Amino acid sequence: MQSALTPETAPAASDTTRSRKLQLLGILSGFTAGAWLGAAEAPTKLVSIGISPIVISLIMVIGVFLARWSLPALVLGTASIRADVRRAPHLLIWAVLAGCLWAVANTLTIFAIRDIGLSIAFPLWNSNSLLGIFWGFLFFNELRQAGWRRWTGVLGGALVMCFGAALLAMASSTQASAGHSPRGVWAALGAGVLWGTMYIPYRKAYLTGMNPLSFVTFFTFGELGMMAALAVSYTGLAPLWRELQSARGVIFWLMLGGFIWVIGDVFQQYAAKYVGISRGIPLSNSNQLWGLLWGIFVFGELHGRGVSVYLQVVGGSLLMMLGVGAIAFSSATGKEQTRWKEAAQREGRRYGVAADYVEARMEGRQLAGESRPGRSAWDWLLVGGATSIFVVFATMARVPQMSFRWGPAVLLSAALLLLLMICGLALWRTTRFH
Partner 1 sequence: MERDERTVVTHSRLTSALTDIHFWVPVAVLLGGLLLLRFIH
Chain residues that interact with partner 1, rule: CB under 8 A: 89-90, 93-94, 97-98, 100-101, 104-105, 107-108, 111, 115, 135, 139, 183, 186-187, 190, 193-194, 197-198, 200-201, 204, 230, 234, 350-352
DSSP labels, 374-402:
---HHHHHHHHHHHHHHHHHHHH------
**What is d(CA 162, CA 226) in angstroms, rounded to the nearest whole number?**
29
CB of 129 to partner 1, least distance (A): 16
CB nearer to partner 1: pick between 65 and 94: 94
CB of 111 to partner 1, least distance (A): 5
Amino acid sitting at position 358? V
Output the CA–CA distances (angstroms, integers) from residue 325 to 25, 91, 318, 423, in the order listed. 15, 33, 10, 18
CB nearer to partner 1: pick between 45 and 203: 203
Tell me the angle at which helices 334-351 and 9-39 cross, rounded to the nearest 10 degrees: 80
CB of 46 to partner 1, least distance (A): 28
DSSP state of 230: H
CB nearer to partner 1: pick between 107 and 172: 107
CA nearest 57: which of 99, 96, 103, 95?
Answer: 103
CB of 411 to partner 1, least distance (A): 39
CB of 138 to partner 1, least distance (A): 9
At residue 364, the 3 state secondary structure works out as: coil
Tell me if 39 sits within 8 A of 264, measured CB to CB: yes
CB nearer to partner 1: pick between 186 and 221: 186
E-strand ranges in 168-260 read none
Tell me if 294 sits within 8 A of 135, measured CB to CB: no
CB of 198 to partner 1, least distance (A): 7
CB of 51 to partner 1, least distance (A): 18
CB nearer to partner 1: pick between 218 and 433: 218
Output the CA–CA distances (angstroms, integers) from residue 29 to 274, 319, 397, in the order listed. 9, 20, 32
Instruction: Give the other-Cβ count within 10 Å of 372's Cβ.
Output: 10
CB of 101 to partner 1, least distance (A): 5
Four-CA torsion 79, 83, 84, 90, nearest 10 degrees: 120
CB nearer to partner 1: pick between 115 and 265: 115
CB nearer to partner 1: pick between 139 and 297: 139
CB nearer to partner 1: pick between 41 and 115: 115
Tell me if 43 sits within 8 A of 264, measured CB to CB: no
**What is d(CA 209, CA 356) in angstroms, rounded to the nearest whole number?**
10
